[in-house]
Chains A and B, each alone.
Chain A
Amino acid sequence: MKPDDPNLKRVEPPKLTLLEKTYLPQILGGLAVTGRHILGSAIGGKAVTVQYPEEQHVPTANYRGVHRLNKDEQGRVKCVACMLCATACPAHCIDIVGATAPEDWPDREKYPESFVIDELRCIYCGMCEEACPVDAIELTGLYDITGLSREELIYDKAKLLSVFDMTKDAEPMKTGNPPASLPVPTSPLDPEGPGPRTTVPAAQLPSRS
């Protein structure tokens, strides 16, 4: 668009009146706003602070905290070592060593022999969760992980599976063999909480072109 294009709409900043030029009405208005907030939080108890160690913050259902590796009904790791999460990860912090699945696991060819996530390198973007075709990896609401060394925060398969055991009651798996009777939320960010996600057939998705 050229600068002299007739369609170009020029917006002039509004002229200030004399009173406005003294800044005084605006300053008084501003003082009223901050005054309301100061009194509100000093006396009215409107402060949003969570007194952390005593009160625990409960993150929303779609919060992205520490990962977990989900287990299926038989207690086996759900992951099929397809490497999609490791490929999608922008921080390259997932390291998977896949192996041929045992004979008595007929539903898959491979399983992860080792599955390591460096929680310090992770940027908690959730790409791995998006990428996983079998919903084996999920981000939980745990946010207060600590460690005394870098090594402690490199989570291996056992640790990631134990995160699942810790969080499976509070945060049920988002998908995976749900009974057909469960209500299906209309949006993945449904505030009703985690539940099975609707999958939109590719044909219905808006085209990108």
Chain B
Amino acid sequence: MATWQIAVILVKIFLIVGLFQGAVAYMILLERKIAAWAQDRIGPNRCGPLGLLQPLADGAKMLLKEDVIPGYVNKPLYILAPAIAIVMATIGFAVVPFGPAGLDAPTVNGNPIHFQIAPNVDIGILYVFAIGSLAVYAVILGGYASNNKYSFLGGLRNSAQIISYEIPLGLSVLGMVMLARSLELNDVMSWQDRNGLGPIPAWGVFVQPLAFLIFLVSAFAETNRLPFDLAEAEQELVGGFHTEYSAMKFGMFFLGEYLHVITVSFLTVILFFGGWDAPFLGVEDTSWIAAVLKVGVIFFKVTLMVIFIMWIRWTLPRFRYDQLMNLAWKALIPLALLNLVVTMVLIQLFRGVG
């Protein structure tokens, strides 16, 4: 690998990590704003114009607060847990394309520049899911190491929840994977671009509506967001797994959660909303202008998705634990299997269409 290629990858890493960490700060502001609006309030508006400097103040607060480590915790695991949370949330981005990558990547002197940190990984989806399930270790270890009943309950709930929801999550994307005949996220996007029916694009949400719903529900559960935030459950578990955490360790859990939200939004957009696909953009446009437009489109869609996730959070109450399990095992998994079988049969019948 030439030096310049390594340089490009490093630039991409810095760009993505920096961008998304900054985005998380502003997502927290956005979440607070949306929360406020949903409750007929105004929300933070004192820190800078429209409260836009609030994330800086929040960050400074997190960094400057006293970092308490209670005496009764399991210290190595206690310190490891937030680190896992943030590392797993960050490295998940490695294979998530944030623009054209693979075949339609723009070129410099004939060398393609992929808008993806690790381009052309054949098993992109698998990698993201694997990393996503590792993130649960943060919650479980955090809950266990805190040596606190509430934290422990939060960790337990979370482990059962993640194990249950991994299955429908994985099953629901298989439909798209079979249609695109690739586990690589780029190919899924270009398939959706190529196979439109007239003006209607072949977005996952149209060709696999059931899978989209299942994916969305499981994704909420995976990110531990309301209505599935049983691991935190402020009202029952006083914060759950992060009860004993303070200062930046708490902040790292937060950062991890929001990074997870970004990853899930990216996955949803890529798998079910065509990624960079827009009516005026195609896989054959490899110019730089098209590339910039594609990045714009995908980020726009992801922003909408993030807003939707927050909107849901302030709409639905938390599920009860048995309802959560019923939903996963009695509804989502059978439906996902059904969807899979129907998709398989249809693909066999209409070979050559997809």
User: Once the chains bind, are A37 and B40 in contact (CB under 8 Å)?
Assistant: yes
B314 at the interface (CB under 8 A from A): yes
CB distance from B219 to the nearest CB of A (A): 15
Beta-carbon nearest neighbor of B39 in chain A: A37
Give chain A's interface secondary structure class: helix
Interface centre among A35, A37, A40, A48 (most CB of B within 10 A): A37
Q: Which residues of B contact A189 (CB under 8 A)?
A: none
Beta-carbon nearest neighbor of A24 in chain B: B213
- Expressed in whole angstroms, the Cα–Cα distance for A191 and B155 within the complex equals 53
CB distance from A35 to the nearest CB of B (A): 7
User: Once the chains bind, are A47 and B41 in contact (CB under 8 Å)?
Assistant: yes
Q: Which residues of B contact A33 (CB under 8 A)?
A: 315
Q: Which residues of B contact A37 (CB under 8 A)?
A: 37-40
Known A-B contacts A38-B34, A41-B36; the reply to A27 vs B315 at CB < 8 A is yes
- Expressed in whole angstroms, the Cα–Cα distance for A107 and B213 within the complex equals 80
A49 at the interface (CB under 8 A from B): yes
Q: Which residues of B contact A48 (CB under 8 A)?
A: 40-41
- Expressed in whole angstroms, the Cα–Cα distance for A136 and B312 within the complex equals 53
Interface centre among A39, A40, A49 (most CB of B within 10 A): A49
A31 at the interface (CB under 8 A from B): yes
Residue-wise interface mask of A (39-56) relative to B, using a CB-CB cutoff of 8 A (1 in contact, 0 not): 111100011110100000
CB distance from B27 to the nearest CB of A (A): 16
- Expressed in whole angstroms, the Cα–Cα distance for A37 and B312 within the complex equals 13
Known A-B contacts A48-B40, A48-B41; the reply to A38 vs B311 at CB < 8 A is yes
CB distance from A120 to the nearest CB of B (A): 28
Known A-B contacts A34-B311, A37-B37, A41-B36; the reply to A27 vs B42 at CB < 8 A is no
A193 at the interface (CB under 8 A from B): no
- Expressed in whole angstroms, the Cα–Cα distance for A39 and B314 within the complex equals 13
Interface centre among B314, B315, B316 (most CB of A within 10 A): B315
User: Once the chains bind, are A41 and B315 in contact (CB under 8 Å)?
Assistant: no
Beta-carbon nearest neighbor of A49 in chain B: B42
User: Once the chains bind, are A34 and B40 in contact (CB under 8 Å)?
Assistant: no
User: Once the chains bind, are A31 and B39 in contact (CB under 8 Å)?
Assistant: no
Tell me the chain B residues, 301-321 only, with Cβ under 8 Å from chain A.
Answer: 311-312, 314-316
Q: Which residues of A contact B213 (CB under 8 A)?
A: 24
Contact of A46 (CB < 8 Å), options: B40, B314, B316 = B40
Tell me the chain A residues, 2-42 only, with Cβ under 8 Å from chain B.
Answer: 24, 27, 30-31, 33-35, 37-42
User: Once the chains bind, are A41 and B311 in contact (CB under 8 Å)?
Assistant: no
- Expressed in whole angstroms, the Cα–Cα distance for A2 and B216 within the complex equals 48
Q: Which residues of B contact A49 (CB under 8 A)?
A: 40-42
CB distance from A134 to the nearest CB of B (A): 43
Residue-wise interface mask of B (12-40) relative to A, using a CB-CB cutoff of 8 A (1 in contact, 0 not): 00000000000000000000011011111
User: Once the chains bind, are B37 and A42 in contact (CB under 8 Å)?
Assistant: yes
Interface centre among A27, A30, A34, A38 (most CB of B within 10 A): A38
Interface centre among B33, B38, B213 (most CB of A within 10 A): B38
Contact of B37 (CB < 8 Å), options: A30, A31, A47 = A47
A-B contact pairs, 11 of them (CB 8 A): A27-B312, A31-B315, A37-B37, A37-B39, A38-B38, A38-B311, A42-B33, A47-B40, A47-B41, A48-B41, A51-B42
Contacts A38-B34, A47-B40 given; 13 further ones with Cβ under 8 A?
A: A27-B312, A27-B315, A27-B316, A33-B315, A34-B38, A34-B311, A38-B37, A39-B37, A40-B37, A41-B42, A42-B33, A47-B36, A49-B41
